[in-house]
């Protein structure tokens, strides 16, 4: 596409020192789109950039591309080792010989619009604030902050479609995601059914429950009531609402784990006996504080707000009187794998079954697995043998469907 | 435990497969309950060009069915078929699954609600060699009943007459019946001489009110 440019050099050379099954050292690349992007809300931005990583090789007829969509706090760094030595968030799933085999597929990880890992988001300069009165270059400018348009899953998918255009991919072999990432896979199948052969929808839901939204609202309130939030324009004050982010992450983290696993891992274990105070006495308190501290050190508060709103808003059936089967009717030609985990109380198996029921009502090709596993919502990121075996079996099918051999 | 638990090993071609294929119209939209490793659906896909879903509870079977290239939905049949609409399938298959179910009467209602018709196969407990084993003092064990009494998933074994009584009781008409012994059709006193029975059943006409007719 003529209105896009690519900076930084491309990716993924299999380095000598890569551990087996790893795509090795990876370098992200920034893709620029020099055309206005209009959000579902009606707001628009004049141009944007998406940070991506790719692994594997796009074949001659561009048929082996798979898009991996991230959930709340992840990024384009899906697999391999980045410049900081960090492993990708789905490295156990994606790599040479892994269930999602990069020897076969060309895999794309993308940081979504509004994100905080390089793609255009709240911490970037809002072009509307640039001073263009000077004789030469634009100067000044303030970060978008709270003025970044509210994003929806539909917006992300539309931006990803522009990315696919840019990469010359007419039809993805598969779009895959877990949780919020799976909502994007579902939305791909609804909005661009002719551009996706398979959708892998893992640990997801067709819409958030009141309880889900409630947890998100607690997280948002923690952030916006932090004195350092400054109405979302904290960048200009040189601060971050770290306490708000900490609490937001702590609340979120509780919902990702099952009661049993939390009990098993931490129980009522104390760090140093009872102190009769408000320090981190129980191990679980210490763990949550650690998770919160870590998170607030790297994640952007405005992005957190945006992403939780995107979660809350997702409801493809809304425009069809709540009828999910009607909403999914356009996706009839797409093949689905839906997976849920029995102990996931955030997006329970019943929610995945709603998706499956809507698909079967449309006679859509779908397979569904309900995996009896202990870890709750987080299970989708873990190396569960049965889950990974199913993913591998399904990717074999994806591979066959694009005429793959060997 | 697999709910499709009639015979050991689902990977080999079972004797009821070809009979079932003969009862299924080409291109039918099919629901295979207790589909095991997907062998029957895969066979029918090739032989009759059917499409549809298999339902299976067992993890290993779900994986095997995925590998077999069929649509498989992991679910416990005892929870019913609520997620499927009335007459949403041309035919519902219950291949050697019935005898492993607990709520058989409920399931019979359900399969003839979601299917315009159903094909049910099951081992015949009254098969003469089974009867002989019982007379000799032991529970029958055979190719069709490959389990010991203490490890069998088959909690509801019956005879052809028993099954036909139940059909009568729940308002089903038998449209077709094929009884087999050693893979060959049996016409002489099948309640005694067949080891496996395959029935095609549908709701009796008076029970079809309000449902789409063929």
Distance CA B31, CA B33 (A): 6
Name the residue facing A360 among B65, B66, B84 (closest C-beta): B84
Q: Do the beta carbons of residue B35 and residue B55 sit within 8 Å? A: yes
Contact assessment for residue A103 and residue A109, using Cβ atoms and an 8 Å cutoff:
no
Give the model's pLDDT for residue A10: 44
The pLDDT of B154-165, averaged and rounded, is 96
Q: Is A368 on the interface with B (CB under 8 A)?
A: yes
Q: Is B63 helix (H, G, I), strand (E, B) or coil?
A: helix
Q: Is the pLDDT of residue B53 over 60?
A: yes
With tokens 């067709």, the residue in question is A206
Nearest alpha-carbon partner for A24 in A105, A80, A103: A80
At A131 the pLDDT is: 78
The whole-angstrom separation of Cα A9 and Cα A28 is 8
Find the helix packing angle between B104-114 and B160-170, rounded to 10°: 60
Q: Is the pLDDT of residue B203 over 50?
A: yes
Q: What's the pLDDT at A344?
A: 96
For chain B, the average pLDDT equals: 90
Tallying the residues shown for chain B, one arrives at 214
- In the structure, what pLDDT confidence band is assigned to residue B12 with cuts at 50, 70 and 90? low
What is the Cα–Cα distance from A187 to A156, expressed in whole angstroms?
Answer: 9
Higher pLDDT residue, A81 or B208?
A81
Chunked into runs of 10 residues, chain A (406 residues) has average pLDDT values of: 44 60 96 98 97 97 97 95 96 97 98 98 94 71 95 98 98 98 98 98 98 98 98 96 98 94 96 93 96 96 98 98 98 98 96 98 98 95 96 97 82
Residues of B with CB below 8 A from A340's CB?
A: none
| Mutation choice for B interface testing from A367, A389, A399, A404 by most B CBs within 10 A | A367
Q: Which residues pair with A178 in a beta bridge?
A: A202
C-alpha–C-alpha distance, residues B53 and B31, integer Å: 5
Nearest-CA distance A169 → chain B (Å)? 26
pLDDT at residue A204, rounded to an integer: 98
Q: Report the pLDDT value the prediction gives residue B7, as an integer from 0 to 100.
A: 39
Q: Is the complex ipTM higher than 0.90?
A: yes
φ/ψ of residue A300, rounded to 5: -90, 130
**Helix-, strand-, coil-residue percentages of chain B, each rounded to 5:** 35, 25, 45
pLDDT at B8 over 50: no
Please compute Rg for chain B using Cα positions: 16
A369 Cα to chain B: minimum distance (Å): 5
pLDDT, one tens digit per residue, over B107-138 is: 999 999 999 999 999 999 999 999 999 999 99
Tokens at residue B184, please?
A: 């060959």
Asked if A362 is an interface residue toward chain B (Cβ–Cβ < 8 A), one would say no
pLDDT reading at B6 higher than 90: no
Contact A363 B51 (CB under 8 A): yes
């Amino acid at each position: 596409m003529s209105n896009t440019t690519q900076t930084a050099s491309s990716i993924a050379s299999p380095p000598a020192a890569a551990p087996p099954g790893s795509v090795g050292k990876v370098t992200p690349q920034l893709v620029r789109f020099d055309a206005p992007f209009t959000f579902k809300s009606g707001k628009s931005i004049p141009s944007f950039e998406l940070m991506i990583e790719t692994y594997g090789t796009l074949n001659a007829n561009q048929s082996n591309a798979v898009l991996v969509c991230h959930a709340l706090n992840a990024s384009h760094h899906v697999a391999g080792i980045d410049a900081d030595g960090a492993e990708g968030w789905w490295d156990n799933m994606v790599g040479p010989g892994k269930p999602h085999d990069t020897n076969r597929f060309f895999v794309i990880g993308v940081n979504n619009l509004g994100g905080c890992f390089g793609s255009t988001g709240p911490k970037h300069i809002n072009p509307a604030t640039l001073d263009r009165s000077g004789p030469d270059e634009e100067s000044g400018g303030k970060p978008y902050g709270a003025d970044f348009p509210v994003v929806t899953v539909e917006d992300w998918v539309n931006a990803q479609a522009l990315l696919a255009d840019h990469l010359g991919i007419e039809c993805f072999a598969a779009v895959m995601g877990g949780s919020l990432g799976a909502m994007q896979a579902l939305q791909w199948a609804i909005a661009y059914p002719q551009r996706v052969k398979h959708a892998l929808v893992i640990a997801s839901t067709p819409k958030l429950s009141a309880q889900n939204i409630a947890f998100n609202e607690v997280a948002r309130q923690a952030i916006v009531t932090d004195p350092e939030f400054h109405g979302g324009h904290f960048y200009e004050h040189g601060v971050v609402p770290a306490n708000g982010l900490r609490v937001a992450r702590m609340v979120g983290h509780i919902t990702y784990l099952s009661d049993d696993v939390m009990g098993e891992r931490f129980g009522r274990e104390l760090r140093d006996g009872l102190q009769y105070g408000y320090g981190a006495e129980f191990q679980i308190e210490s763990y949550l504080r650690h998770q919160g501290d870590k998170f607030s050190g790297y994640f952007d508060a405005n992005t957190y707000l945006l992403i939780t709103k995107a979660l809350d808003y997702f409801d493809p059936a809304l425009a069809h009187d709540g009828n999910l089967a009607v909403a999914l009717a356009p996706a009839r030609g797409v093949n689905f794998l839906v997976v849920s985990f029995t102990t996931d109380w955030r997006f329970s198996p019943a929610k995945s079954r709603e998706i499956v029921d809507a698909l079967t009502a449309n006679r859509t090709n779908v397979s569904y697995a309900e995996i009896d596993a202990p870890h709750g919502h987080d299970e989708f990121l873990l190396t569960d043998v049965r889950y990974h075996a199913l993913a591998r079996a399904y990717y074999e099918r994806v591979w066959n469907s694009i005429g793959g051999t060997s | 435990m697999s709910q499709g638990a009639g015979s050991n090993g689902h990977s080999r071609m079972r004797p009821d497969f070809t009979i079932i294929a003969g009862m299924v119209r080409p291109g039918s939209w099919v629901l295979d309950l207790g589909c095991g490793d997907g062998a029957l659906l895969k066979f029918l896909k090739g032989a009759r060009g059917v499409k549809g879903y298999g339902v299976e509870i067992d993890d290993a079977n779900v994986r095997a069915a995925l590998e077999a290239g069929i649509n498989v939905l992991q679910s416990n049949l005892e929870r019913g078929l609520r997620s499927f609409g009335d007459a949403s399938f041309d035919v519902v298959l219950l291949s050697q699954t019935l005898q492993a179910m607990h709520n058989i009467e409920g399931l019979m209602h359900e399969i003839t609600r979601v299917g315009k018709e159903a094909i049910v196969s099951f081992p015949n407990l009254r098969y003469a060699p089974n009867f002989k084993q019982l007379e000799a003092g032991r529970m029958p064990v055979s190719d069709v009943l490959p389990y010991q009494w203490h490890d069998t998933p088959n909690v509801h074994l019956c005879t052809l007459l028993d099954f036909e009584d139940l059909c009568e009781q729940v308002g089903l008409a038998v449209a077709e019946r094929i009884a087999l012994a050693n893979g060959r059709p049996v016409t002489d006193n099948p309640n005694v001489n067949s080891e496996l029975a395959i029935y095609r059943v549908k709701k009796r006409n008076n029970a079809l009110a309000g449902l789409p007719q063929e």
